[in-house]
Amino acid sequence: MSVQYLEIEDHQDVGQRLDNFLMRFLKGVPRAHVYKILRSGEVRVNGGRVKANYRIQLADRIRIPPVRARQEVPVSVTKQDSQWLLDRVLYEDKDYMVINKPIGLAVHGGSNVSAGVIEILRSALQNSRLELVHRLDRDTSGCLALAKNRPALVIAQQSFRDRTVKKIYELIVLGQWPKKNASVHLKLQRYNTAWGERRVRVDTAGRSARTDFAVLATAKQATRLQATLHTGRTHQIRVHTSALGHCIVGDTKYSRGSQREEAVNSRLCLHAKKLRIPLEDGHQIRVEAALDDNFEQIWQNYADIHPGKKTVKTTL
């Protein structure tokens, strides 16, 4: 094995983050190792050190140190896995695809996940350039958008950066949600636990985050809510609800005290229900993902204790 030098000649690579480019180029190399060689400066662009978020330019010369891939490089994807996700497609055209992501499936493979949404669909569509436009937590269900080529990815992600994308979630929280919590503005900061797990907390030194909540229905022990994101911070809805004393049903990561015992006995009741992405020339992607039967059954279990009182309908 020896050092490799790559010169960027494909316009579809221009503008892509260096870390994402390397993970596509270095198939089979663990993500953690890709970031290690970036942090150590072993990867260089035009002779200099760069950060993981460096955007690739045409004619860039990238130095890649010797790396060893895992022994089993090919991702094993069955026809059943592929068809399972293809059956969940909500929208598709020549540039984009939106699926109703099921709970329990990561959006990409990692150290403990052999294949996620992106690996399964790349295999099914025979398109190595398929990319995630955004992400959802493993245990969050609902609308997940993907781009089939680099130019389409750039356009959609610019809409996310410009905050013109509209994302509406449906969720169930423990307890009765106060009407005064209609709009939550709490700054969020990421941190790592002592055992290396990524978490988020409310912190005045963090980044601004806003979530608007509307009560859909109430029960004696829980509230069904709609959440509209105005920012897209990691675990934003989960941390905002938990910080106000009403963790999401099934959220073992951010549940507290007496709520934790009830949280561990359920799936995470957080669903990305509606998504609207403005594109160029007035075009847009507008989709809605149906809730699964399991989510509805969990709510019904609470509603049977005390019937729902209020319903709110909103449109994208």
Instruction: Assess if residue 146 is contained within a domain.
Output: yes
Mean pLDDT estimate for the chain: 88
Q: What is the percent of the chain with per-residue pLDDT over 90, rounded to a whole number?
A: 62
Q: Which of 23-37, 92-106, 158-172, 196-210 has the lowest mean pLDDT?
A: 23-37
Q: What pLDDT is stored for residue 29 in this prediction?
A: 83
Question: Domain end: 135, 155, 175, which one?
Answer: 155
**Would you say residue 224 has pLDDT above 90?**
yes
**Shared domain check, 53 and 84:** no
d(CA 145, CA 215) in angstroms, rounded, equals 27
Q: Which CATH number fits the domain that encloses residue 173?
A: 3.30.2350.10
Catalytic hit among 13, 60, 137, 139:
137
**Shared domain check, 100 and 217:** no
* Residue 92 CB partners (closer than 8 Å, separation 6+): 98
Task: Name the residue type at position 113.
Answer: V
Tokens representing residue 214 in the block:
């509307």
**Shared domain check, 294 and 204:** yes
Residue linked to tokens 């330019």: 57
Question: Domain end: 155, 186, 217, which one?
Answer: 155
Q: What pLDDT is stored for residue 114 in this prediction?
A: 67
**Shared domain check, 45 and 124:** no
Instruction: Assess if residue 29 is contained within a domain.
Output: yes
**Would you say residue 32 has pLDDT above 80?**
yes
**Would you say residue 150 has pLDDT above 80?**
yes
Instruction: Assess if residue 283 is contained within a domain.
Output: yes
Domain that holds residue 12: 4-64
Question: What is the number of alpha carbons within 13 Å of residue 24 lying toward its C-beta?
Answer: 16
**Shared domain check, 201 and 106:** no
Q: Which of 79-83, 134-138, 186-190, 282-286 has the lowest mean pLDDT?
A: 79-83
Instruction: Provide mean pLDDT across the span 253-274.
Output: 82
Q: Contact 8/14 with Cβ under 8 angstroms? A: yes
Instruction: Assess if residue 172 is contained within a domain.
Output: yes
Domain count, the chain: 3
Which range of 109-118, 208-217, 262-271, 279-288 scores highest in mean pLDDT? It is 208-217
Beta strand pairing status for 141-147 and 166-174?
Answer: unpaired
Coil, strand or helix at 211? strand
Q: What pLDDT band is residue 194 in, cutting at 50, 70 and 90? A: confident
**Shared domain check, 197 and 88:** no
**Does the pTM of the predicted model rise above 0.75?**
yes
**Would you say residue 172 has pLDDT above 90?**
yes
Ramachandran region of residue 41, left (φ > 0), alpha (ψ -120 to 50) or beta?
Answer: left
pLDDT tens-digit series, residues 64-87: 998 876 544 455 677 787 898 999
**Would you say residue 311 has pLDDT above 60?**
no
The residue among 237 and 194 whose pLDDT is bigger is 237
Q: Contact 21/38 with Cβ under 8 angstroms? A: no
Looking only at Cα atoms, what is the longest distance across the chain? 67
Question: Domain end: 92, 122, 155, which one?
Answer: 155
Instruction: Assess if residue 135 is contained within a domain.
Output: yes
**Would you say residue 195 has pLDDT above 80?**
no
**Shared domain check, 143 and 169:** no
**Shared domain check, 276 and 258:** yes
**Shared domain check, 221 and 139:** no
Helix (H) or strand (E) holding 303: helix 293-303
Instruction: Assess if residue 314 is contained within a domain.
Output: no
CA–chain centroid gap for 14, Å, is: 23
Does the active-site annotation cover 19?
no
Instruction: Provide mean pLDDT across the span 264-291.
Output: 92
**Shared domain check, 16 and 50:** yes
**Shared domain check, 260 and 172:** yes
Q: What pLDDT band is residue 139 in, cutting at 50, 70 and 90? A: very high
Residue linked to tokens 């729902």: 308
Instruction: Provide mean pLDDT across the span 259-271.
Output: 78
Q: Which CATH number fits the domain that encloses residue 22?
A: 3.10.290.10
Instruction: Assess if residue 123 is contained within a domain.
Output: yes
**Shared domain check, 198 and 270:** yes
d(CA 148, CA 157) in angstroms, rounded, equals 13
Coil, strand or helix at 114? coil
Q: What pLDDT is stored for residue 309 in this prediction?
A: 56
d(CA 75, CA 167) in angstroms, rounded, equals 31
Q: Which of 35-49, 183-197, 213-227 has the lowest mean pLDDT?
A: 183-197
Instruction: Assess if residue 73 is contained within a domain.
Output: no
